[in-house]
Amino acid sequence: MKLQRVLQYAQFLLSKVIEEGDIAVDATAGNGHDTLFLAKLVGKTGHVYAFDIQQEAIEATKVRLKEHGLSDRSTVILDGHQHVENYVKDKIAGAVFNLGYLPGANHDIITKGETTIQAIDSLLGLLKVGGMMVLVIYHGHEGGKEERNAVIEYVSELPQKHVHVLRYEFINQKNDPPFIIALEKVKEFPI
Residue ranges per domain, the chain?
6-185
- pLDDT tens for residues 56-83? 999 999 999 999 999 999 999 999 999 9
What lies within 8 Å, CB to CB, of 16 at 6+ separation is: 132
Say whether domain 6-185 belongs to CATH 3.40.50.150: yes
The model carries a pTM of 0.96
Strand bridging mode 163-168 / 179-185: antiparallel
Distance in angstroms (rounded) separating the CA atoms of residues 101 and 176: 15
- pLDDT tens for residues 168-179? 999 999 889 999
Of 17, 64, 61, 62, the C-alpha closest to 41 is 17
Could you report the average pLDDT of every consecutive run of 10 residues in the chain (191 residues)? 91 98 98 98 98 96 98 98 97 96 84 96 97 95 91 97 96 92 92 57
Strand bridging mode 92-99 / 23-26: parallel
CA angle 34, 60, 175 (to 5 degrees): 60
Of 161, 165, 159, 154, the C-alpha closest to 187 is 161
Number of other residues whose CB lies within 10 A of the CB of residue 114: 12
